Amino acid sequence: METFQLEKLENGSDATSKNRVVDYFKTLDTLKPLPLAERLVRVNFYLNQLRSLPDIVNYKQNDYWSTPKEFLICGYGDCEDFAIIKYFTLLKLGFEKEKLFLTTSKEKFTGQSHMVLSYFESKEKPPLILDNLSYKVLDLSQRVDLEPKIFTNEEGSYKLDEHNNLSRIGDVPPKFKELLQRVAKEG
């Protein structure tokens, strides 16, 4: 198990936060031997058990992207925080970063923006969607409630065409670069 600076957690956080972090790393260890498809489903289910809370309540900001460490310690997050922790968790479990994308979407029924994690298992299929609003991992064609806008990972920003091909539309957004720097500093 990674240390995740547990000694600092003991001094600066409550026992619940420490237990949540310890449980996270124990869960990762149990998932590593499973097939990729099973890891994907279990990660989505496991992390969806954390509680949802808007950034304005949690961080006193309208839009804050918490690192996985911040999210685990706090125990609350919004859709971006869920997508981010799933992204980094799947990387730890051996998924290729070229196949994982934070996906900004429009939720068709409410009209609100919503972020999910997309996993492109193959180029011939729609991406699989990991969403904090659904315990099921479904491919995008089955998610009639979502209209994806931008797919982002550590290589840039992309749009998806009707044939499930990604086209690069820009560099890595500054907010994601800043998140990556904060994650790197945390170790």
CATH architecture of the domain with residue range 6-186: Roll (3.10)
Instruction: Give the span between the Cα atoms of 16 and 147, in whole angstroms.
Output: 37
Residue-wise pLDDT tens digits, 154-173:
999 999 998 889 999 999 99
pLDDT value of position 76: 86
Beta bridge partners of 167: 159
What proportion of the chain, given as a percentage, has pLDDT over 90?
75
d(CA 63, CA 61): 6
**In the chain, domain spans:** 6-186
Which ranges of the chain have pLDDT less than 50? 1-3
Q: What pLDDT is recorded for position 51?
A: 85
- For the chain, the C-alpha Rg in angstroms (whole number) is 16
Q: For residues 40 and 90, is the Cβ–Cβ distance under 8 A?
A: yes
Task: Tell me the CB-side half-sphere exposure of residue 164, using CA atoms within 13 A.
Answer: 15
Q: pLDDT above 70 covers what percent of the chain?
A: 91
Give the model's pLDDT for residue 61.
74
Q: What pLDDT score was predicted for residue 99?
A: 97
Per-residue confidence (pLDDT) for residue 123, from 0 to 100: 82
